[in-house]
A and B are shown apart, each in its own frame.
Chain A
């Protein structure tokens, strides 16, 4: 059956010659060579005489189309198309391309023939092709070289090239091979062979030199396969270099390196291991090739795998002997840590620490014992614990200091733990111990500033701060503390009417302020002092200067408001006088907002109360500024500040803003629900309660410790009502509320170690009785005894009161809690 004529072709046949010519020209100029071929073929058919010129155009179309195909790596198709050219116009066009395509498509014999046939027509730029053909000749196509003219370098120098290659491969001595290489001219088509053989020889005595030699061989050279072997064999890390090669190359490079069969097998098996092999595979690899490895190094590597591959323990013992007890415990602890079994990990580390302590004569063992105990302290902090059973973090840290008394962080952490637990005596004790041990450590001294301030030992605190500044003159915390100390004194003197002394204190504070970091606080206080001294001109001048230094209207307003209140003055008087404007209409920029956050934080740390009232007046512009924020790094400190201040309405607003962009961030869920409930867990709606619990789970999974601690603490208000809260119905707690709480307390009591139970119960009862409405009919002591008996399930109650039997603990119907 006859093939149907394609539609385009059929249409072309119908076109008059004039139009075909125009179309052919257009197609050539637009590089549409495939279609141009069809047009010119038709024109050649209509007007076959050579003078018409269609053959030339068709040859051009064929050549350009071939190039297009070659660009797509379709070398075979390109070569076939090119073969039409000589028949069309009796002359070849760019035959070097044709030979190249033949070579690239693996048609080596045909390539050699074509090279011989077109040798005379090859252009000057065919040097690279000559190298390719020379390499091809060396692979065994030597007979075809005979077809070249006798004077062609490719033919003339082939014998020398073959001799050099043979001499190298047959293991001739280096000088003999070099002599052969001398016979290959430097511009020969065999020059890459000359270079690569020289590199292979160099590899035997000077691997680095060999690598340098192959750098001169162009990337397109056919000798690059050999070059890769030289590079791998010359590498300073041959194992990695060999692994990057394909299996055949790897075997050949191993031969160049002189590796024996066992080493080659090792390499092969290592290559078989995946990029990220499992611990079992790694362990078995080590033990299978132990004879080749450095035994100590192999032992360490195998040991390092045991925490993740415990099944290897037996194999390890077989190959390297039983583990010493210390390593056994260490492995158990590490494994338990990986499996998040903190209790087991702590047991393992305890055993390690005990063994190290037993060898405490050895300084390394002492230090290792201390490090182990500190590691245990870190681990113990991660244990989920009930508030009645504190973790042993402090105990571990304390013990660690017996073996390494110079660890600053251990002292400070111990102090912080006691501070957080409200154990002020111990907090101060550990800071004092730290100061005694490390008297010139600025961080320790700063902690001492804090403890001394907390104990109202301001003079002592100032001494510590001054010492910090001696040691570290740019320490901003110490400087700020000293400035604040002088300002506090100044305020006291102003309120006491001792204006001259106040002025001296303000001078001292002013001297401490750095010129480039003046906040205006000293000037504002000078202005307030002038107000007390009834010097309105001075007052205005100083306050204006303070406002200018504060940087922005909102910061100036906030500073003036807080400082006035601290001196029992009404800020509005000064604000009006200074024409600061209506705070509700302030335009607060992002920078102002962040600076205000820092200011509020600083005041809170100083112990300034009622910051929420200051924020109250700024609510509207603050909301507007918060609304513009998008960066989570801005929203976080703002929420934190509003949480601490505290200002629930603004906090809820900021958290809601943050949740719009980060809906799953546990911390923002906490801030929002906390603020919405006014910080009272009883005011949290059921929906928010669920969101909080989900956020807690996410925080635990994401190891977001901050969010986890805050949410846990908030939810724990619901768990441990040791500190009675106001009644959910408003007003003081009612007896019914107290009975509900008693049920919960009874549950909690059962979790307390019996020894501690009485003491804690007494504390709880004192707090509970204080919170109950006064009942004159029952003396407090009797009430306490009755409640104590009730909490113990009614034991001994009959002796106190004439009451019916009470249900046993846990036996009665318990109010269902949300947790």
Chain B
């Protein structure tokens, strides 16, 4: 199972209300009739951390592997934006011109 806090995009310190709000937001974005698999994941995540007791239980016994993507994302804080060089720009164009199907 994926980390329920990540699934619902809430902090691990979030309370009942914040978690419910995040859950409803996720359900709006991924309604069961359109995205049933994702909805199941969201539902399971919500059930896992819905109440304070659930969150304590999750902290004690939860065994899901950590999401490295979150960790990596936090490490990729953008610096001053760069630009493409002409050479790179041409390279990308040529690649597309030759490889187009």
Chain A residues within CB distance 8 Å of chain B: 73, 103-104, 106, 108, 132, 135-136, 138-140, 165-166, 168-169, 171, 200, 203-204, 220, 222-226, 229, 237-240, 242-243, 248-249, 252, 255-260, 263, 266-267, 270, 273, 277, 279, 282, 285-286, 289, 292-294, 297-298, 300-302, 304-305, 307-308, 330, 334, 338, 352, 364, 367-368, 371-372, 375
Contacts and interface: CB of A to CB of B under 8 A. Distances in A.
> Which residue, B61, B71, B74, has most C-beta atoms of chain A within 10 A?
B71
B34 interface: no
B97 A222 contact: yes
B80 A297 contact: no
B97 A135 contact: yes
B28 interface: no
A139 B92 CA distance: 9
Contact of A371 (B60, B79, B91, B94): B60
Contacts of A240: 69, 73
A301 B66 contact: yes
Closest 7 CB pairs of A and B: A301-B66, A258-B79, A225-B92, A292-B75, A239-B73, A255-B82, A169-B86
Contact of B72 (A73, A104, A108, A239): A239
Nearest to A364: B56
Contact of A168 (B73, B83, B92): B83
Contacts of A132: 97
> Which residue, A166, A285, A297, has most C-beta atoms of chain B within 10 A?
A297
Given A136-B97, A263-B76, A308-B65, 13 more contacts: A165-B86, A168-B83, A222-B96, A222-B97, A238-B76, A255-B83, A258-B80, A266-B75, A266-B76, A297-B70, A304-B65, A338-B63, A368-B60
Contacts of B68: 270, 273, 277, 282, 285-286, 301
B21 interface: no
Interface of B: 52-53, 56-57, 60-61, 63-76, 78-86, 88-98, 100-101
A239 B76 contact: yes
Contacts of A297: 70-71, 74
A289 B68 CA distance: 12
Contacts of A294: 71, 74-75
Given A226-B92, A371-B53, A257 B81 contact: yes
10 contacts: A108-B94, A139-B90, A169-B83, A238-B73, A239-B73, A259-B76, A259-B78, A277-B68, A297-B70, A302-B66
Contacts of A220: 100
Give the dominant DSSP class at B's interface: helix
Nearest to B61: A375
A794 B14 CA distance: 70
Contact of A103 (B56, B65, B97): B97
Contacts of A260: 79
A364 B69 CA distance: 30
A223 B60 CA distance: 51
Contacts of A242: 76
Contacts of B71: 286, 293-294, 297-298, 301
A32 B72 CA distance: 57
A273 B94 CA distance: 30
A288 to B, nearest CB: 12
> Which residue, B64, B72, B96, has most C-beta atoms of chain A within 10 A?
B72
> Which residue, A139, A267, A279, A375, has most C-beta atoms of chain B within 10 A?
A139
A82 B91 CA distance: 29
Contact of B96 (A108, A223, A282, A371): A223
